[in-house]
Amino acid sequence: MRRSVIARINDRLKGMIRRRWSVFSAAQHWLRWGRVCAGGLALWCGLLGLTAEASSPGTCLQFNGTNGYVTIAHTAALNAYPLTITAWIKTLRNAPLYDGIASKYPPAGLDGFSLFVYQGHVRAWYFHNQTSYIWNPSGDNQGVDGGFVADGNWHHVALVVGSTGGSIYVDGNLGGSLAWTGSAGPPTTNTVSMLVGRAFQHPSYTNTFSGEIDEVTLWNRALAPSELNYLKHRSLGGKEDGLLAYYRLDEGTGTTAGDSTANAFNGTVVPNPAWVPSQAAIVLDPIATNCLKLDGVNGYVQVAHTNDLNAYPLTATAWFRTTSTAAQFQGIVDKYADASGDGWAIGVQGGQLRVFITVAAAWPTKRSTPCRQAPSRMGRGTTLLWSSIALAASFSSTVRWWVPVRGRGLPERPVRARRCSSAHIIPIRSILLARSTK
């Protein structure tokens, strides 16, 4: 259902773009994409329908529970804090053994992290040092409990560590959490290798994972639940913000587990887990390969003015992602000379999507004048998810916008048009806005 909702959004917006694509202003200046006054913004214009094919899970590694695993050489970057680890796993073993999924934990213990299966439950701990940790020594000593996963089905598991503690998510749902004891921080002296398929290299714990593991990721930020749910069914591009290492495990043969990020933290497969076809649910369109990441200070894209860009009717679209709630207007895409009262802009202000379109003859004298912003707020713009925004000006008499409701299709919400002064040189009588979350 989720994929059909996204496809319907894309079809609707692509149809609108084909019918109305253009951009408008009467000003002799520049077209700017992503001019940001405050806060950070990632922007991708014209994204709709980048790829027509769904992702494929490829191959994965099948571990025998005895001696097969992947080792990744130590580097300080892997001692990440904040931290997110994700993986697809499949297991049937329900035993008092540490079946490691992804770990960087020394034999002496109490410095590092481990995500593992113990007695059929996905568990995890994270240590800053011996006195500061996410762990439960007064409980069963196995750390965060994410719930039972040893049912022979594929599950997406994630360990998220931030300033307040650690949480395990299973198939996008919160399984369990623990708060920090002591002070939060990264591992202090950890120099051991990171392992996939084994909890730690300790002579008393020689077993490895029993089952299959695929699509392992390591991030240096705490992903939000909305991000986990968006990403879990997709193959990544390798350039995502904060992604430290990404093991697709699609090699299908050999002794190398390649890291698909530019960091090249490649792993060595030892001694011999089996490469097998994966049935992990990597079924949605892949993540886009490239976008612009803007620093919120002075970066933007500028396109020279031409009369063709002063078009009417118009449609301007963009995909964007931001977490800024700054009070200053942050442009996503605009063609507007500052203080001219002549042009249009789409942006985020105070965490809200905002838009205005006007010409010099009708520039309002007060901020409350309806024709400056129509509507003034389109809903929450501060989000960890990619969102699309479309602005269209035409002769229609209503404003329409669409927001997907999870599992419930695309409700269409007509809004009464806000008409501007008849002194407009160009008879713009309404704004058409479409906002959707991918």
Q: Quick: pLDDT tens for 228-239.
A: 999 999 999 999
For position 43, what pLDDT does the model report? Answer: 52
Question: pTM of the entire structure?
Answer: 0.71
Share of the chain above pLDDT 90, in %: 48
- CA dist 297 and 34 (Å) reads 11
Rounded to an integer, the average pLDDT of 401-417 is: 34
Summarize the confidence of residues 257-271 as an average pLDDT: 97
- Mean pLDDT value across residues 54-73: 90
pLDDT of residue 360: 57
Q: Domain limits of the chain?
A: 2-50+291-437, 59-277
Q: Mean pLDDT throughout 92-119? A: 96
Phi (first) and psi of residue 364, to 5 degrees? -70, 150
Please, which residues bridge with residue 293 across strands? 42
Model confidence pLDDT, tens digit, residues 162-181: 999 999 999 999 999 999 99
**CB distance 255 to 270 below 8 Å:** yes
Better pLDDT: 90 or 430: 90
Residue 423: how many CA atoms within 13 Å on its side-chain side?
9
Return the pLDDT at 224: 94
Averaged pLDDT for residues 307-332: 81
> Does 123 have pLDDT greater than 70?
yes
Question: Which CA distances in Å does 219 have to 132, 212, 248, 381, 404?
Answer: 21, 21, 14, 24, 28
Q: What pLDDT shows up at residue 389? A: 65
The answer to whether 27 touches 239, Cβ cutoff 8 Å, is no
Average pLDDT over residues 218-225: 96
Rounded Cα gap, residues 223 and 160, in angstroms: 7
What is the average pLDDT score of the chain?
76
Beta-carbon contacts of 137 under 8 Å, excluding residues fewer than 6 positions away, are none
User: Whole-angstrom distance between the N-terminal and C-terminal Cα of the chain?
Assistant: 13
**pLDDT greater than 90 at residue 217:** yes
Kindly state the tokens that stand for 382.
């501060």
Name the residue with higher pLDDT: 429 or 152.
152
- Our CA angle for 145, 81, 135, nearest 5°, is 30
* CB-based contacts of 156, cutoff 8 Å, min separation 6: 86, 87, 88, 169, 170, 171, 172, 228, 232, 233, 280, 281
Q: Which residue has the tokens 């329908």?
A: 49
Q: Give the per-residue pLDDT at 223.
A: 96
Query: Going by C-beta distance under 8 Å and a sequence separation of 6 or more, which residues neighbour residue 375?
Result: 399, 415, 418, 431, 433
Q: Span 356-365, mean pLDDT? A: 55
Nearest 5°: phi and psi at 14?
-65, -35
Candidate from 13-27, 87-101, 294-308 with smallest mean pLDDT: 13-27
Q: Is the pLDDT of residue 372 over 50?
A: no
Give 288's DSSP letter: P
Residue 404 has pLDDT above 80, yes or no: no
Is residue 181 within 8 Å of residue 133, measured between CB atoms? yes
As a whole number of angstroms, the distance between CA 276 and CA 282 comes to 15
The whole-number pLDDT of residue 348 equals: 81
Do residues 153 and 95 make contact, with C-beta atoms less than 8 angstroms apart?
no
Beta bridge partners of 157: 87, 170
Average pLDDT over residues 104-121: 95
Q: Which of 191-205, 258-272, 347-361 has the lowest mean pLDDT?
A: 347-361
More confident residue, 393 or 46: 393
Mean pLDDT of the region 366-377: 31
Q: Is the pLDDT of residue 5 over 80?
A: no
Whether residue 61 contacts residue 197, with contact meaning beta carbons closer than 8 Å, is answered with yes
- Check the CA dihedral 401-34-393-16 and report its sign: negative
Q: Taking 50 as the threshold, does the pLDDT of residue 50 lie above it?
A: no
Statement: residue 332 has pLDDT above 60? yes
Q: Average of pLDDT values for 133-148?
A: 97
Q: How many beta carbons lie within 10 A of that of residue 415, not counting itself?
A: 16
Per-residue pLDDT at 343: 78
* Of 353 and 396, the one with more pLDDT: 353
Instruction: Give the model's confidence band at 45: pLDDT under 50 very low, under 70 low, under 90 confident, else very high.
Output: very low
Which pLDDT value is given to residue 393? 60
Class of domain 59-277: mainly beta
